[in-house]
Structure formats: C-alpha cells, structure tokens
Chains A and B, each alone.
Chain A
C-alpha cells in the first residue's frame, strides 16, 4: 500500500479540493483521511454517510475543589501557563493538563479531569471510506487526534486490501502536520506561485526532509504568477524535487466546491485533465 499526505505549508492552496479529486480518480482503491482536524473540509465534497462515531479524550484539565483549597497560592506560583485565576478557578483554555498543581497542592484540592477534546468518525463515501474528525473548539492535542485517525485509516486500508492511503494534511509545519506526515511514503506539496507560497513551500520541504518523507510539488493556479511559478520550478530542480504537475486558475474549482463534489466529477474541461495528470504522476512516483 502507498501512503501519501497532501500538505502545503501555506493554507488555501487547494489541498482539499485536490484530495477530493484523487479520491475519485483512485476508483475505490483508497481509504481517505482528513488530517486537518481543526478545520476539516474533505467531507464537504465527498458526500459521506456516517458509519461510526468515537469520542476523543487525550488530555486532562485541572479542577480545584474550593472546600479543600485554603488559597495558599502555591499552584498559582508554580503554573507556567498562567491557567489559575486569583479566585482559584482554572481557565480550561490555558490549562496544559500537565498536573503540576495536582501533584504540588499540599491540601489535595486539585483533581485532574479527563476532557472531551473532540470526536472522530468513520464514514462511507462514493469513493471509499473516509476517516475524519472534529477537534473541539479551542482544544489542544490536534497532533494526537491526527495520529488516531491516521492509524485507523491505515488499519482500514490494510483490512480492505486498498492500494492507497490518502491523507489530507493541515496547513503549517507544526504538530498536526508532523503527525500527518509520520510513517507515510510520500508527500505532495500543493503550492501557489506567490512569494508566500514559495516561502512556505521551502519551510514545509525542510520538515519533509527532517522526517525522511519523499516530496513532490504541485503548482496550483500557476498561470496567475508565471514568474513565481518558474522560480518554483527552478527551485524544485535545484533541490531535486519532482514537479508532479501544474494546474491553471479556473473558476470550475470553486463551482465544484459549491456543488459539493470533486472538480473531476463536475467538469471534463482542461482543469480536470491537469488534475488527472498530477494524480497519475504523483501516484506512480510514490
């Protein structure tokens, strides 16, 4: 099985729209994972039907029992996340769940409560199984949630003898990105021909190298910045990174999204042909 993650560094370059297309192009041979757990969108273009739902509990939050607390202030002095207010109420948003206050409190007034940090789902789509999640609002541990659904996706792909595990990654380079890259064979970096796109591509490529993940690049809306697009191609050539394809700016990209379907199912125009080429090149590279 080939395990692949679609990332970008910069947000909004078209990752999810492409993953939706890849799902359709893989013709039932893939399991899909939406690894962007704090702004998950893949379900909006793949028409999923929910099959199973799970709670995600991976961290704890401190709670202070006011009857046992004698306001000595030790927990407030020790907490490095400034999570305990003057009235000994814990701010759940700032609380890191480290348990320092729980262990240090001389009056055993602190309890560590499990927090419901999100939910994750197994759904059926016309293109195969989709494993996705919703991190609770302002919750932490997105990396662990990504790892949970990535592992589940892999398990289901193996059990179903699928050829591909396709993971839609989050933007950025931080913990959920690292979690979505962990253990995969290759990454497709979707970039755009702008100074921001180039800058962020370079940083996310460094992350791929750091974790030994083979990378290829796709330039979306390449015709909106031909100078920058050429610069990206030169950069990839120098770094010996394959350019899996270039995609033109086309309003069909958004029109398909509005209709809740992958572009390749919506249009038979040049855009769909270009995306098909990217899939063929990338899936044979990895």
Chain B
C-alpha cells in the first residue's frame, strides 16, 4: 500500500486518532500549518498523487483541510451558506489548479488563498444581489451563542458597522489565529494594512459593546 493511501485509510479509520483528531480540532487559534514534519511529507505525497489524477488522494486533502478552509471562508462571507459555497468553489478551483501547485510549498497556505478569493467573490456577488439583508445575517453562527440576546445583538451591530475587510481581519486573527502576514496574503493586502484594520476593528467592537455595558 502506498504511503498516501495508507494515510487516507488512517484518516478514515475512526480508531486512528492522532492525525484525525488534529484535523477535527476546533478551528479557533489552530496554527495555519497544522501538519507536523512527518504529516507534511504525507501531505506532499497526497498532493503528488492528486496531481496524477488520484481523486481519493484529493479526497483525503479535502478531509484534512475543509474545517480550516471553512473557517477562512466564514471570516470573509456573511452567512454560513455562503461560506459552504465558497469552500466548495475553493476546493474545485484548487483541484483545477493542482498542476500549477509547486511541490514543497505549504498546501494549506496555497489552499487558503484560493478559498479566500472564492469567499471574496461570493461577498461581491452577495453585495450585488441583496445588500439589504447583509447585516441581518452577519455572524449568524452555527450554534446560538450562550450570551444574552442583547449582547449578541450589540456584537452583530458592531460587526455590521465594520468594513468587510476589517471584519475578515479581526475574525481571521482573533478567532482563527492567523498571523498578520498570512491574513495579508489571503486578502491581497499589505501586512501593515492588516494590522491597522485589526486595531480599528477591535476599537469599534469594544465601543459597540461598551454602550451595552453602560446601559446595564
């Protein structure tokens, strides 16, 4: 059995915990490159197999990266459904572009840029389609937050007041744990701009929530 296929089997076997547990670790603050040295080598083998047309190998890559890809997309788009679409589009683009992927570069970072671009495209389409409903759907999480509804409302209002880029930057940094440089490459902005956006986004959100506290 080839190492790539062995890895696929290991990832699909529920009794094999180490790599799967890592892949299913909740997204918050996981490092961008979640593969260790050995796993990175396995990943390179999977990429090479996928480049030769092995759909199963690409499936293993999807399995390993879809959570992180979703987190990237979710930080940029307005709704869970748009994030799902962006993830799917991103993976399809990545599959089409596999021949252009250079061996040795981190697959995750390459994939995240593609998914981020797909998410930015989805945001532009959404803006054109129904700009009015944007603020309604902002940060509509998969689970209802445990916070009181007024706090959530205030947070949503604060997020809605941010620019799309500021919102993406603060979520990618504070929620997903990406570095400024990584965020800059994903969103096609200089690292300094990412830092500045983060500062202003935090300030704006704190001000939104402060008003709530003062009412209390």
User: Does B associate with A?
Assistant: no
B residues contacting A by CB (< 8 A) are none
A residues contacting B by CB (< 8 A) are none
